[in-house]
Structure 1
């Protein structure tokens, strides 16, 4: 049997290469997704500033709660099941200094406190980013020992106007000992004298550091009575844990220190896990569609060969075993290199995410054999399942009917396939309906891609019937064109199964690409519309550095003609157990600056201690209710609900008073300041001229900034889903090329009866036009149904945003792929001797 398998693969090189490519791409993408998924679960976060610290004590960087489920088992018996859940905080949690007192009591322990706060250096008229674009953080000089940083020149800071700068940052800023520089931290920009240049004795390439005196660091950090972390020397971990037992402190050592240092990496892990898992699942479904389609076409092309085997006595089991072994051999050969190359592909994806700011550079790629083994297993399994599915009907052909079955394409589908197609149609409709009630992006995104895939599975199962009906409609106008159109109509009708096999990957390409491209467009357009409708500010002041200082906002309030100034600070909170995007707004006059479309209550009542929620986030709460909230840094508090509004996409899920947010974020300066009043931009610029890095624009500037954030999110989705688009595009070329190469005898016969090469190409062009038209109709229909459900749930409108220009590019791209995959193989085939081809020479 194995010799027969090898002989078949050698003779059927075209279908073998096509199957290999489909499986290779499947292993490549699944392997890359597996690496990213593992990175999200257990990716390393190497310590840098804490690399010289044996033990680090910090606050718990997780929000935790217990989920209890009660199940009535009948007969009065009730079963209660509790499970603790945790999510990464969005901001740094701070630790009470009382913990430091407990640590200082440990015999032999040397305890060093660390304060972390943003601090940007002004250079050449702008704020200098940290190394490789990473953040620049300020600290107290005593915490330099945690790395350690040592002075390369100069001396430690002794007064509140002194600063020590790390050597890499000083070199880029052109600063030396004795120079003065402006630093923008958490308050008014201040001029400091550089007293020293420090170099780390460990590798520090994910951040830049400035060191101040202990008093100045405490003032800039602004967290009285708390610290970012403690570094402990001279005591073991067990001693430290015993000392802080009963507090909320978390003790870390070894590799755990990195997660304390880079708190954003923990939330990035969660994001990467969800994205990697969603893409891996989507990839597997797409891979099954593509691989099954490829094998189905390959087996269909071998009907004559398989029919001969049945006619000479081969049993159905033997035929299935032969096809399965061929698939397993191809699967193994393709899975090994594909899965291994998934590692460098994952590295490329990670680098792109880092450049987009989706994940920090501190989160290192996890490398282990598990994703590779899983990708190989999934690929070989997909090959085996595809082979068994496609060989099932062929192996059941009775020997007496074998040659007739090979000569004439069967016009009906099996009952099982039809039932499966109807089941997937119902399933796709249910998932699309589910989309209409999903109102959050994390919940809607995976379901959106699942919806379009389920529609495509249904279309692939019922493809021959749908194709035959479409060809019947298109055949009438096609017959009006002699030779090319006429022959294309007849050929497509006679070979509807083959045409359907080619249409499926092309429809998948069009449907998936349209969905991926227009989902973020629908969101961004709706957000832009809501922002435009709700923005009443006349001008916006934005910062090119760490934010707009509070004194600058006060200066703007004193400008003649200005009636309202609102500072805007973005964060993430938890309302109960629901994660919500939030904005902190200066409460005085806020209703005159923004209009989030309040439906209940009044935004004018927004003040410290109160909260406004969108109608999607309010979840049955009523005006006057107390809303338990966990702030981004883990502090639990309560707010009174004063307003419910409708424009969640434009203004976020929750609005809070700026005063209630500013103490719970890592960067407390407002990113933007909204201004209402009869005033000129020059007057505003004059007011903030003493604050470097601020720019004044009209309200469109704020809308552009919001649009840029939406565009970044769209790029993140496109990076992930672009892999599937590329995979599907390869499948399109693969399938079309297979279909053309299999028609050698047909083209030879056409040449021998007098058809010219030009006329053959004319037939192919008409056939390709029919294929692209049907694929466009099916793919667009699946995408439109999905997008309508998504838009209804997320935007509240059944009309998604679709760019006709972008859609035209998608169709032209599909047509271009079709032309390449059709014309090039056809040119190679038509160069052959038709007399030899008609006799069956391959």
Structure 2
């Protein structure tokens, strides 16, 4: 069978190279994804913040909820700290020279111009107690350690950017406000660097650090330094024995390095996990893309397969022949696909780093694993696709083979219909579930809906093609002359060929349309809810990360012209989503003032109910999932993992970009650490907006870390933040859309180029090259219209599902104009260009030569 397969490949070059291109693109996509996942898992911060320690001990940063035999793990926003007793226990472990507690807190220096100075790569700027300098270690390159409450030691890079030296004065923003400090010394981390690569570092006197961090006697992490001669691995083992069963963990190696740079670790985790779904969706698409290409190749070989069956080849031999061809395709595609996957991975890595979603430490790591995984995936996907493509042809009885080759009797088989109906039912079920789940969770479900509907449409493509081609072809034939009539006749006689190309267009339109429509409705709905939710006249925001100190709200309350001032602080709490504990965005507000600066769109209850302990407001989507109403009770977990019995005091509509659960600020104060406010909302007295603006200009001189925006500016800032956070998702969708677009071009080129004999015959009987090009153009128009209609229908279903999840009404609103028509025009132009490019090449030969080549082909 392998010899027969190789012989077939030599005589069917167009089909072979078209199929090879489809497999190659799929292998490239899988190789890039696996490379990115491997790179993210291996990446660690360039300089270990805890490099001088044998191990780091911390409380488990995750909430663990057991359900039967399963355990659900949810990261906590504010993990619990190590107590003084636990630190003392660690110091008593044999072989421990010292245990240094460290609780980093926001501390950001201001430059001479008052601009906040972030860490490297716009990373955080963190304060520590001076004893924590031992953990890296940091050593003094100038001056001395901070001793008094007005002194600070800073890293050399920060000193350079702030243009200060030992003895200079510098202003620093912390949770306590903006205060001047004297630079007592300049420090450098181990290795002679000027700073840690992803953060700015400031060291305060121990008593000052304890006050600013709120960690008197406790610590977020404990760095353990070993006695001389004690191996680090041995000491780590002793520590694990001591902390076993206490809800603490011992970190070494790369885990220890990531614990020293949590923001870097979070970005690495995000950029790593991003590509798992991309590989899964890409594999799902590849089954239909490769299957469609192989199906078209098999369709073009009906006579060959029929002849083989007529001279005695069995169904099993036909299957093994196609399987052998699939193996050859997969083996040939694996090495170049891997090599192409590396530059694609580097491109993706560069885009993520440029947008700040991945740290500079994220480096592309190559190796045999991506090659092996991509090769195996390509083989499996190709074999699955080949089996689907050849199944019908291999079942022909010898006596029927030639008849079937000349005139196929059945457009789709019963198994394909059953599988398509199962996919359709699954897609509709998930569509209904997404409306029940609501919110961004429900929006995310639309990806599954689109995938299942695309699968069903690809399986049943000949049926809608048979239904849609006659009216579309007749319309074209009515407005054109001979070429339009020929295009209509040719398309009607080759339903399978047309449906294969239409399916490729459908997949491209559905993927691109989903990305555009669902993204647009999410952005528009979020922006609209934000505009309606905020009724304050002016909003104070931080000029850099970290938030606003409490004194910003206090200063705003003293401003002339200010009627109401209310601060909001975001966090995360844990509640059940679709039966599984999950982190949800939450907000802490002052119930006495929030109602005058925020309009949450309350359906039930009131903000005043938050004054009652244990009472919260819940978004419509989260409440709808559980069937809650005002007065319902549910179990949740606070930001530090503390379990809470909560009561629904009200249900509100405008949750996007804000929160699913709203608490009183007093309810969360003890569970959020020393966090800073996200924003301060100010409502002016009637007619006093000008007076308030003048006062705010003066406030900015006293509070240089604050920026002032109006309601529109606040909405723009929130929208920019949402787009930044969603960039990774957009990037994944862009790659998948590009994958489907390449497959579309490949299918159209393959389908057109394989018709060399047909075109030669038409030329031999008198058709001119221009007439044939016009005929091909109209055929492509018919195919494109069918594919665009199907893809748009699927994209509109996703749009309706997203609207249902966000608003509760599955309406086709929020269609982005003119972006969507431009998208369709782009797909149509790409389809026409691919078909015409192939036709020009095919029609370049003389008719007699083309007939000879077509016969051989």
1:388-467 to structure 2, matched below 5 A, reads 388-410=387-409, 412-442=411-441, 444-445=443-444, 447-467=445-465
Residue 164 of structure 1 is matched in structure 2 by: 153
Q: Does structure 2 retain, via aligned residues, the 8 Å contact 1:265–1:363? A: no
Residue 696 of structure 1 is matched in structure 2 by: 708
Residue 192 of structure 1 is matched in structure 2 by: 181
SS in 2 for 1:128: coil
TM-score of the superposition, structure 1-length normalised? 0.92
Residue from 217, 220, 234 that aligns with 2:226: 234
Alpha-carbon distance between aligned partners in 2 of 1:615 and 1:808, rounded to the nearest angstrom: 33
1:87 and 2:87 equivalent? no
SS in 1 for 2:621: coil
Structure 1 residues 513-571: Cα deviation after superposition (integer angstroms, max 9, x where no partner): 11122212212222222222222111111111232222221111112231211112111
Compared CA separation, residues 411 and 110, structure 1 to 2 (3 A): closer
Residue from 80, 83, 103 that aligns with 1:96: 83
Which stretch has the larger CA shift, 813-822 or 371-380? Answer: 371-380
Alpha-carbon distance between aligned partners in 1 of 2:328 and 2:501, rounded to the nearest angstrom: 24
Alpha-carbon distance between aligned partners in 1 of 2:562 and 2:709, rounded to the nearest angstrom: 15
TM-score of the superposition, structure 2-length normalised? 0.91
Structure 1, unpaired ranges of 5+: 69-81
Residue from 810, 833, 836 that aligns with 2:846: 833
Alpha-carbon distance between aligned partners in 2 of 1:785 and 1:614, rounded to the nearest angstrom: 25
Alpha-carbon distance between aligned partners in 2 of 1:338 and 1:651, rounded to the nearest angstrom: 43
Q: Does structure 1 retain, via aligned residues, the 8 Å contact 2:118–2:199? A: no
Residue from 465, 476, 479 that aligns with 2:477: 479
Shift of 1:737: 0.3
Which stretch has the larger CA shift, 751-760 or 321-330? Answer: 751-760
Alpha-carbon distance between aligned partners in 1 of 2:700 and 2:670, rounded to the nearest angstrom: 24
Alpha-carbon distance between aligned partners in 2 of 1:37 and 1:250, rounded to the nearest angstrom: 25
Residue 837 of structure 2 is matched in structure 1 by: 824
SS in 2 for 1:194: strand
Q: Does structure 2 retain, via aligned residues, the 8 Å contact 1:119–1:185? A: yes
Q: Does structure 2 retain, via aligned residues, the 8 Å contact 1:90–1:264? A: no
Shift of 1:734: 0.3
Residue 642 of structure 1 is matched in structure 2 by: 649
Q: Does structure 1 retain, via aligned residues, the 8 Å contact 2:433–2:442? A: no
Structure 1 residues 625-648: Cα deviation after superposition (integer angstroms, max 9, x where no partner): 665543333344555543322222
Residue 230 of structure 2 is matched in structure 1 by: none
Q: Does structure 1 retain, via aligned residues, the 8 Å contact 2:274–2:728? A: no
Shift of 1:735: 0.4
1:592 and 2:592 equivalent? no
Compared CA separation, residues 269 and 119, structure 1 to 2 (3 A): same
Q: Does structure 2 retain, via aligned residues, the 8 Å contact 1:92–1:666? A: no
SS in 2 for 1:164: strand
Compared CA separation, residues 103 and 477, structure 1 to 2 (3 A): closer
Which stretch has the larger CA shift, 103-112 or 561-570? Answer: 103-112
Q: Does structure 2 retain, via aligned residues, the 8 Å contact 1:599–1:643? A: yes
Shift of 1:763: 1.0
Structure 2, unpaired ranges of 5+: 228-234
Which stretch has the larger CA shift, 275-284 or 729-738? Answer: 275-284
SS in 2 for 1:226: coil
Q: Does structure 2 retain, via aligned residues, the 8 Å contact 1:564–1:588? A: no
Compared CA separation, residues 47 and 660, structure 1 to 2 (3 A): farther
When the two chains are superposed, the root-mean-square deviation of aligned CA atoms in Å is: 2.7
Which stretch has the larger CA shift, 246-255 or 795-804? Answer: 246-255
Q: Does structure 1 retain, via aligned residues, the 8 Å contact 2:52–2:137? A: yes
1:26-175 to structure 2, matched below 5 A, reads 26-36=26-36, 48-68=48-68, 82-106=69-93, 109-123=97-111, 124-175=113-164
1:797 and 2:802 equivalent? no
Residue 10 of structure 1 is matched in structure 2 by: 10
Structure 1 residues 474-520: Cα deviation after superposition (integer angstroms, max 9, x where no partner): 12222221022111111111111100000001111001111122212
Alpha-carbon distance between aligned partners in 2 of 1:581 and 1:751, rounded to the nearest angstrom: 67
Q: Does structure 2 retain, via aligned residues, the 8 Å contact 1:438–1:444? A: no
Compared CA separation, residues 412 and 668, structure 1 to 2 (3 A): closer
1:719 and 2:731 equivalent? yes
Structure 1 residues 749-769: Cα deviation after superposition (integer angstroms, max 9, x where no partner): 222222222211111111111
- How many residues in Structure 1 have an aligned counterpart in Structure 2? 828
Shift of 1:472: 0.9
Compared CA separation, residues 643 and 673, structure 1 to 2 (3 A): same
Alpha-carbon distance between aligned partners in 2 of 1:372 and 1:412, rounded to the nearest angstrom: 38
Q: Does structure 1 retain, via aligned residues, the 8 Å contact 2:176–2:549? A: yes
Structure 1 residues 433-482: Cα deviation after superposition (integer angstroms, max 9, x where no partner): 3322222424651x312211221222222211211211111122222210
1:352-367 to structure 2, matched below 5 A, reads 352-358=351-357
